[in-house]
Amino acid sequence: MHRPVLLQEVLELFNPQPGQTYVDMTVNGGGHALKIAERVGPGGRVLGIDWDADLVRRLQMENQERGIKNIDVICDNYARIAAIAKDRGITEVNGIIFDLGFSSYHVDESGRGFSFRTDEPLDMRYSPASNAITAEKIINHDPEETIENIIREYGEERYAGRIARAIASARRRGHITTTRALADIIWHAVPAPYRRGRIHPATRAFQALRIAVNHELENLQTALAEATPLLAQKGIMIVISFHSLEERAVKNFFKQKSQERIFEIMTEKPMHASRQEIAINPRSRSARLRAARKII
């Protein structure tokens, strides 16, 4: 079941009012969007964007069954928010939320290799229809140096060099096509003590590949910049991030816009999930929420 992270904090920061307009840049299962839609009422509007066509179809069907008419769910890349809003006749909004955590659906149901818990094809694309690059192509065809740089930069993995060398060696013996095959290569590439760490030694490398395949950091930077002009005066932007690269990008963006006197930062330090929320939804443990209000 989809559980929106830091939902109460989001609602308190936004304080949605009847008739207002909001954008959920990563609508996913619709958790945040549904609660905001309840507050803005039939005279208000929520635009929900997701890059995964399967998730969009699912949410559209659920909203239709529930009779929800004030959420407009579309399939697109949120980096195109300016064009998306223009196409929908939206000129300004009261709030914009990014929930950058990838969906439970992607891990548990998609079959696209986002996790090594089950043996799946090395895909990792959010939008197979619009993205030709897969994790399998990177692993089997990119130069060893490129793979090392991806794992080091996007996974912040200390053993990126050893892992890249092991991948290059393994692929000379045969194509690497599944998540378990890759996870096994990584497991044997790292020192034995590292295997006994808090997380599986393949975790950071899988994160890095997912980020590279979907151009996540580049799309985030573009979307933050394109979404800012869409905010009305006193409009609020909320970003929930889940790893240090995203969190750093958001922090720096808010800081820059604060220096330019465009944003007023509302969260001096990031907000975290409560112990109660973590107990119900362990995936919320790594969530970090930052918020800013537009002042011009």
Tell me the pLDDT tens digit for each residue of 156-208.
999 999 999 999 999 999 999 999 999 999 999 999 999 998 899 999 999 99
Residue finishing a domain among 187, 214, 241: 214
Residue 203: partners with Cβ closer than 8 Å, 6 or more residues away: none
Judge if 24 and 97 occupy the same domain: yes
Query: Is residue 285 a part of any domain in this protein?
Result: yes
Compute how many other C-beta atoms are within 10 angstroms of the C-beta atom of residue 239. Answer: 29
Instruction: For residues 246 and 198, state if they share a domain.
Output: no
- 201 is a domain residue: yes
The verdict on residue 169 lying in a domain is yes
CA angle centred on 280, ends 279 and 284, rounded to 5° = 80
Return the pLDDT at 296.
79
Same-domain check for residues 94 and 131 = no
* Helix (H), strand (E), coil (C) string for 2-61: CCCCCHHHHHHHHCCCCCCEEEECCCCCCHHHHHHHHHHCCCCEEEEEECCHHHHHHHHH
Q: Say whether both 182 and 158 belong to one domain.
A: yes
Q: Which two tokens stand for residue 138?
A: 């990177």
Question: How large is the angle between the packed helices 160-173 and 179-189, nearest 10 degrees?
Answer: 130
DSSP secondary structure code for residue 174 in this structure: S
| Rg of the chain in Å (alpha carbons) | 20
Residue 1 lies in a domain: no
**Residues 21 and 90 sit within 8 Å (Cβ to Cβ):** yes
Which of 214, 231, 266 is a domain's end point?
214
Shared domain for 83 and 116, answered yes or no, is: no
Rounded CA separation 154/277 (Å): 28
CA 193 to chain centroid, in Å, comes to 31
Q: What is the pLDDT of residue 46?
A: 97
CATH number of the CATH domain containing 125 = 1.10.150.170
Residues 202 and 229 placed together within one structural domain of the fold:
no
Residues 115 and 210 in one domain: yes
Any domain includes 2: no
Could you say which of 214, 229, 245 is where a domain stops? Answer: 214
Claim to verify: residue 64 and residue 137 sit in the same structural domain: no
- Residue 111 pLDDT: 77
Phi, psi of 43 (to 5 degrees): -85, -5
Please name the residue ranges forming H helices in the chain: 7-14, 31-40, 53-66, 81-87, 104-108, 135-141, 144-155, 160-173, 179-189, 192-195, 203-214, 216-227, 244-259, 275-280
Contact 93, 16 (CB under 8 A): no
Give the DSSP H/E element, type plus range, for residue 233: strand 231-241
The predicted structure's pLDDT at residue 108: 64
Task: Name the phi and psi angles at 162, rounded to 5.
Answer: -65, -40
What is the per-residue pLDDT for 71? 94
Distance CA 94, CA 285 (A): 28
| Shared-domain flag, residues 132 and 207 | yes
Q: Give the Cα separation of 79 and 285 in Å (integer).
A: 27
Same domain, 137 and 124: yes
How wide is the angle at C-alpha 100 spanned by C-alphas 95 and 103, nearest 5°? 115
Question: Which residues span the domain enclosing 159?
Answer: 111-214
Looking at the domain assignment, is residue 274 inside a domain?
Answer: yes
Residue at 40 is within a domain: yes
For residue 24, list its beta bridge partners: 48, 97
pLDDT for 185: 98
Count of structural domains, the chain: 2
With respect to residue 269, please indicate whether it lies within any of the assigned structural domains. Answer: yes
Taking the model in full, what pTM does it have?
0.93
| pLDDT at 6 (0 to 100) | 96
Same domain, 236 and 186: no
221 and 282: one domain? yes
Can you list the residues of the chain whose pLDDT is less than 70? 1-2, 103-110
What the block records as the tokens of 38 is 């309840």
